[in-house]
Structure 1
Amino acid sequence: MSTTPTPQPGPAAPPPGCPAHRLYGPDAEADPMGLYEKLRAQHGAVAPVLVQGDLPAWLVLGHRENLDVARTPSRFSRDPRRWRDMQEGNVPADHPLTPMTAWQPVCHFVDGVDHERLRGAITESLERFDRRGIRRYVKRFADQLIDAFAQTGKTDLVAAFAEPLPMLVMTQLVGAPESYGPRLVEAARDMTRGTETAVTSSEYVSVTLRELVARKREVPGRDFTTWMLEHHTALGDDEIVEHLRLVLIAAFETTANLIANTLRMVLTDSRFRANLSGGHMTLPDALEQVLWDEPPLMTILGRWATGDTELAGAQIKAGDMLLLGLGAGNLDPEIRPDATVPVHGNRSHLAFSSGPHECPGQDIGRAIADTGIDTLLTRLPDLELAVPESDLEWNASLMSRHLVALPVRFAPRGSTVTGSTAIPGGRRPPSAPARVAPAAPATPFAGEWPAARSSWWARLRGRR
């Protein structure tokens, strides 16, 4: 294990007359994009900010600067043990950032040889999946989820579709029994929202994954867990459990957000919908557009300076924390002078970061979102938002912005030909919170739905 150099003392200070802005609290979370542009106008590509507890950090706003930080671990390490505030005792165990910055022997917290060993086991195991097989899983679970609400004519697409689908698929890919899926969805949802039972839910996920690893040692399969166990790097059980946890939670958080954000754009943005229905944009194109405009993670925390350095005029001190501003970098006027112009065939966005720590499962996330949304819009082509767009609510945090609910209405339909009516499930773990039923539309739909309603999505599919 590489040694960690001792940071030089002295807090990071903003330029004179330029006070740092808080990245937390109601004001910052209400309009993160507006705050990014305010910071960009005042400071340029790198801005001094404050995170929870008024701890200093640097928010990287420029697209080029984000790539510089992400791609040069020799200057900007992923190891949180370098964080000066952590070393000086300014980040107590109950600090809101502790769960995301407490060092663990996992690939996203190490650099160099250790990182190559751990990440190699993940990427090489993920590469063994048949992408067509993944899409079959997605189609199967998407149909099951849709069957659960198709006859009602209304649902909340966040709680009933966008959130459960990624975890149900990933449960299969890691080789867990289907009964694990619904329970892991509940636990993951709970722990990522920082509720009072988040610690209990986190423990439930760890215990469940330990049981899975033990089972796979006895009965191997063709799945991610088995392939991690068989990998030539000879990972220990603790390492495998932590990386299973990392993959599951990362897939849940980012893919659920991508699905919800894309569906919201389809239902509310006339320009976006016109490009789809007019054949000017395919669904994969639409996903990439959302990854540009509203990435699942707006900010990544963090990187830590390995020594005194300069970045876009900002004087960074050893041990300073930097936040990758993915959402801000995607809207950098240096690369997108007009953010209203669609970006076609361009994957140079920052949604999955870059460099050695770039998301290894991004293609699987795309496949889940693409196939899931296609299945939903094919079966329910007359989906409409059931509330005014202005009534949609968001939960925001330092790292992401979540759509609370996406109430929709449609003509009631029967289940699929297979007759499946619900996702397979078992008894919910006592530690996990009760599952919240999908919210009813705030503005109930009155009257009968026209039987022969035209379908823009059916017209689009006809062009394929």
Structure 2
Amino acid sequence: MTSQDHSRPLAAGGPGLPPPGCPAHGAAEQLISMYGPEFAEDPAAVYARMRAQGPVSAVEIAPGVPATLVTGYTTALEVLRDQKNFPKNARPWQQTIPADSPVLPMMMYRPNCLHTDGDVHSRLRGALNDGLSRIDIGTLRHYIERGAQTLLDEIAPAGEADLLSQYGKLLPILVFDQILKCPPHLSERMTKSFATIFDGVDAKGTEQANEDVFLCALELVALRRERPGPDLVSWLIAHPAELSTDEIVHTILLLVAAGVEPVQNLIANTLRLLLSDDRFADGLAGGSVQIADALAEILWTDPPMANYSPTHPPNPVTLSGGVQIPGGRPVLISLAAANTDPALSAARAAGNRAHLAFSAGPHVCPAQAQAITIASVAIEALLDRLPELELAVPVEQLTWRQGPFHRALTALPVRFPVVQPSVPIDVPTGGSRWNTSQSPSSSTPPAATSRPRQNSSAPGESPRWWSSLVRWWRGQ
């Protein structure tokens, strides 16, 4: 892949650049594109080109939208831990780009803990931590296993499937519908709109999708105010921090955005590795696959969120080693490139789990334990039911969705011997023959919760309810 495939000049005076005539310009700045098909096909090659320039690179994340991408692991940690020089406030930047920019919904200011700093961040993060701490792990596993069994009952008799559209995409949605007690018509609209937002390539579509997710979350809050229950939305509404309706809505959007699209990519990317790499594929039939090892490897090498954790330094910053970060334009962390920094090869080989797949610092993902649980239980349930699973096409023929933020397959076609739907998962709830032990991992531990865990109510949904929810989602 040549440099001409990815670089294009940005004219002087564009968003986030010094004014024309400033010595910082020199020639028109060469930016590396992160939104086209070439980047989606082989991002590792692009990251390698970037590293040749140093730990940071000038990139273009959408037409006319420049940013700084951090590809070095040590530099990434320094940025993520420095709230003073790298604040989350995106509002000044938002005034410099078109309102219909396809990347705006992913990076714009929202009143939730991801996009705020200081005392506001602490208050919003504390409320979210408290809500997440009340999700009983046994109940969560029940939701995952029940949803997986319902989906696999439909898949197993066919002998072939697209594990992305028929399994990986749907299962996190079913689980979060239960956690939030979200009606399926709202979750359908939200998750389909979020898929458009995560792609970050369709200007008209992302603007409409951003409006739609807000309206759906607003309707969900109204429903839970009217009929509160043992669910995360109701807990946020009743929290002593007294979140405003706007704060609750945007916290819900954060939960859905982080809990559905990235988790479905984690499931699909891990299954791709399990089915294509001889280190894992040879152990499928014998039940000796180490699912925890495969998940850990994907979190290092192909994290579902490849480039994110945006910050907005108002002024230039000089980091350790003389690394220069310009001000006035967003800084993104390449979680994928930082994780695969050649300087870390020994740490990865030794099983070190200080990857950045869940970010780091004060804004480290608060729900990484839940994400790992959903992915690992989803994979173990699938392999228990369909142990002779194999890819239907060579792994090289799998294709990836375009966009600057995620690492997401377009499909994951597989084939397997037909299994009748009456065959149950052959292990009791909460048990498995697969090694799925996996602890949340990040270079910074999750923030502590501010009050003790309280369990949610015991699960009681019938298989018929789950089946009807799946049929709704498939338009049946």
Give the TM-score normalised by structure 1: 0.81
1:329-378 CA distance string (max 9 Å, x none): 00111111597x4x53x320010100111111111110100001100110
Q: What is the CA–CA distance in structure 2 between the aligned matches of 1:133 and 1:191, rounded to whole Å?
A: 30
- 1:70–1:354 Cα contact (<8 Å) kept: yes
Structure 1 partner of 2:259:
251
Q: What is the CA–CA distance in structure 2 between the aligned matches of 1:287 and 1:12, rounded to whole Å?
A: 47
- 2:144–2:378 Cα contact (<8 Å) kept: yes
Structure 2 partner of 1:461:
none
TM-aligned CA deviation for residue 76 of structure 1: 0.8
Where in structure 1 do 4 or more consecutive aligned residues deviate above 6 Å?
A: 14-18, 275-281
In structure 2, do the counterparts of structure 1 residues 233 and 159 end up closer, same or farther at CA, with 3 Å as the change threshold? same
TM-aligned CA deviation for residue 292 of structure 1: 0.4
Q: Tell whether 2:411 aligns with 1:405.
A: yes
In structure 2, do the counterparts of structure 1 residues 166 and 37 end up closer, same or farther at CA, with 3 Å as the change threshold? same
Q: Tell whether 2:75 aligns with 1:77.
A: no
- 1:168–1:185 Cα contact (<8 Å) kept: no
In structure 2, do the counterparts of structure 1 residues 235 and 102 end up closer, same or farther at CA, with 3 Å as the change threshold? same
Structure 1 partner of 2:440:
none
User: Does the residue aligned with 2:158 lie in a helix, a strand or coil?
Assistant: coil
Structure 2 partner of 1:270:
278
* 1:286-301 correspondence to structure 2 within 5 Å: 286-300=294-308
Structure 1 partner of 2:335:
326
1:281-335 CA distance string (max 9 Å, x none): 6312221111001000110152122433213433223323211010000011111
Structure 1 partner of 2:216:
208
TM-aligned CA deviation for residue 24 of structure 1: 2.9
Match of 1:99 among 82, 86, 105: 105
TM-aligned CA deviation for residue 207 of structure 1: 3.1
- 1:106–1:118 Cα contact (<8 Å) kept: yes
TM-aligned CA deviation for residue 112 of structure 1: 0.6
Structure 2 partner of 1:444:
none
Amino acid at match of 1:424: S
Task: Give the share of equivalent positions with the same residue, in percent.
Answer: 37
TM-aligned CA deviation for residue 186 of structure 1: 3.9
Q: Tell whether 2:354 aligns with 1:348.
A: yes
In structure 2, do the counterparts of structure 1 residues 347 and 13 end up closer, same or farther at CA, with 3 Å as the change threshold? farther
Structure 1 partner of 2:384:
378
Amino acid at match of 1:152: A
1:4-51 CA distance string (max 9 Å, x none): xxx99558958999944223323333211111011102x121222233
Greater shift after overlay, 261-270 or 393-402? 393-402
1:112-167 CA distance string (max 9 Å, x none): 11111111111111011111110110000011111122111111000001111111
Structure 2 partner of 1:446:
none
In structure 2, do the counterparts of structure 1 residues 361 and 291 end up closer, same or farther at CA, with 3 Å as the change threshold? same
Q: What is the CA–CA distance in structure 1 between the aligned matches of 2:137 and 2:23, rounded to whole Å?
A: 46
User: Does the residue aligned with 1:47 lie in a helix, a strand or coil?
Assistant: strand
TM-aligned CA deviation for residue 264 of structure 1: 0.5
In structure 2, do the counterparts of structure 1 residues 160 and 76 end up closer, same or farther at CA, with 3 Å as the change threshold? same
Structure 1 partner of 2:228:
220
Q: What is the CA–CA distance in structure 1 between the aligned matches of 2:206 and 2:468, rounded to whole Å?
A: 24
Q: What is the CA–CA distance in structure 1 between the aligned matches of 2:117 and 2:66, rounded to whole Å?
A: 23
Give the TM-score normalised by structure 2: 0.79
Amino acid at match of 2:318: E
Q: What is the CA–CA distance in structure 2 between the aligned matches of 1:426 and 1:279, rounded to whole Å?
A: 29
Q: What is the CA–CA distance in structure 2 between the aligned matches of 1:424 and 1:291, rounded to whole Å?
A: 33
- 1:171–1:180 Cα contact (<8 Å) kept: no
Q: What is the CA–CA distance in structure 1 between the aligned matches of 2:395 and 2:165, rounded to whole Å?
A: 18
Number of residues paired by the alignment?
A: 418
Match of 2:368 among 327, 346, 362: 362
Q: Tell whether 2:179 aligns with 1:173.
A: yes
Structure 1 partner of 2:51:
40
* 1:144-155 correspondence to structure 2 within 5 Å: 144-155=150-161
Instruction: Name structure 2 gaps, 5 residues minimum.
Output: 1-15, 425-461
User: Does the residue aligned with 2:311 lie in a helix, a strand or coil?
Assistant: strand
User: Does the residue aligned with 1:58 lie in a helix, a strand or coil?
Assistant: strand
Q: What is the CA–CA distance in structure 1 between the aligned matches of 2:228 and 2:167, rounded to whole Å?
A: 31
TM-aligned CA deviation for residue 104 of structure 1: 2.4
Match of 2:36 among 18, 21, 25: 25
User: Does the residue aligned with 1:107 lie in a helix, a strand or coil?
Assistant: coil
TM-aligned CA deviation for residue 248 of structure 1: 0.7
In structure 2, do the counterparts of structure 1 residues 15 and 327 end up closer, same or farther at CA, with 3 Å as the change threshold? farther
TM-aligned CA deviation for residue 184 of structure 1: 4.6
- 1:48–1:56 Cα contact (<8 Å) kept: yes
Over the aligned positions, Cα root-mean-square deviation in angstroms equals: 3.1
TM-aligned CA deviation for residue 393 of structure 1: 1.1
Amino acid at match of 1:98: L
Amino acid at match of 1:423: S
TM-aligned CA deviation for residue 419 of structure 1: 7.1
Amino acid at match of 2:32: H
Q: Tell whether 2:55 aligns with 1:61.
A: no
Structure 1 partner of 2:6:
none
In structure 2, do the counterparts of structure 1 residues 14 and 409 end up closer, same or farther at CA, with 3 Å as the change threshold? farther
Q: What is the CA–CA distance in structure 2 between the aligned matches of 1:371 and 1:12, rounded to whole Å?
A: 56
Structure 1 partner of 2:9:
none
Instruction: Name structure 1 gaps, 5 residues minimum.
Output: 1-6, 429-433, 438-464
Amino acid at match of 1:262: T
Greater shift after overlay, 397-406 or 135-144? 397-406
Q: What is the CA–CA distance in structure 2 between the aligned matches of 1:333 and 1:160, rounded to whole Å?
A: 36
Structure 2 partner of 1:424:
468
Q: What is the CA–CA distance in structure 1 between the aligned matches of 2:175 and 2:338, rounded to whole Å?
A: 30
Q: What is the CA–CA distance in structure 1 between the aligned matches of 2:27 and 2:75, rounded to whole Å?
A: 22
In structure 2, do the counterparts of structure 1 residues 381 and 180 end up closer, same or farther at CA, with 3 Å as the change threshold? farther
TM-aligned CA deviation for residue 206 of structure 1: 3.1
TM-aligned CA deviation for residue 99 of structure 1: 1.8
- 2:155–2:161 Cα contact (<8 Å) kept: yes
Structure 1 partner of 2:122:
116
Q: What is the CA–CA distance in structure 2 between the aligned matches of 1:125 and 1:64, rounded to whole Å?
A: 32
Q: What is the CA–CA distance in structure 1 between the aligned matches of 2:313 and 2:197, rounded to whole Å?
A: 29
TM-aligned CA deviation for residue 234 of structure 1: 0.3
Q: What is the CA–CA distance in structure 1 between the aligned matches of 2:245 and 2:145, rounded to whole Å?
A: 32
